Amino acid sequence: MKNIDKLIQKALELQANGLVTRQIADELNVSSETVTWLLTRAKKEDVSSAPKDISVNWSSIGKSAYRTRHIGIAMCDMVLDTVVATESDIDLVVGIGLSGVPLATLIAEELGTELSVYHAYNEQEGGTLKGAFSRNFAGIKGKRCVIVDDVITTGTTMNDVVTQLRSSGAKPVAIAVLVDKSGSETLSEVPVQALVSIVRVD
Which alpha helices (DSSP H) does 2-64 contain, by range? 2-16, 21-28, 32-42, 59-62
Please answer whether residues 31 and 51 qualify as being in contact, where contact means their C-beta atoms are separated by less than 8 angstroms.
Answer: yes
pLDDT computed for residue 22 by the predictor? 86
CB-count exposure of residue 141 (10 Å: 0-12, 13-18, 19+): exposed
pLDDT computed for residue 121 by the predictor? 74
Domain residue ranges in the chain = 2-42, 59-197
- In whole angstroms, give the CA distance from residue 131 to residue 54: 24
Q: Structurally, what CATH architecture does the domain formed by 59-197 represent?
A: 3-Layer(aba) Sandwich (3.40)
- In whole angstroms, give the CA distance from residue 20 to residue 29: 14
pLDDT computed for residue 41 by the predictor? 82
pLDDT computed for residue 43 by the predictor? 74
Q: What is the mean pLDDT of each run of 10 residues along the chain (202 residues)?
A: 82 92 89 90 69 88 97 96 94 96 97 96 59 95 98 93 96 98 94 91 64
- In whole angstroms, give the CA distance from residue 185 to residue 190: 8
| Global confidence as pTM | 0.85
- In whole angstroms, give the CA distance from residue 152 to residue 162: 13
Please answer whether residues 75 and 103 qualify as being in contact, where contact means their C-beta atoms are separated by less than 8 angstroms.
Answer: yes
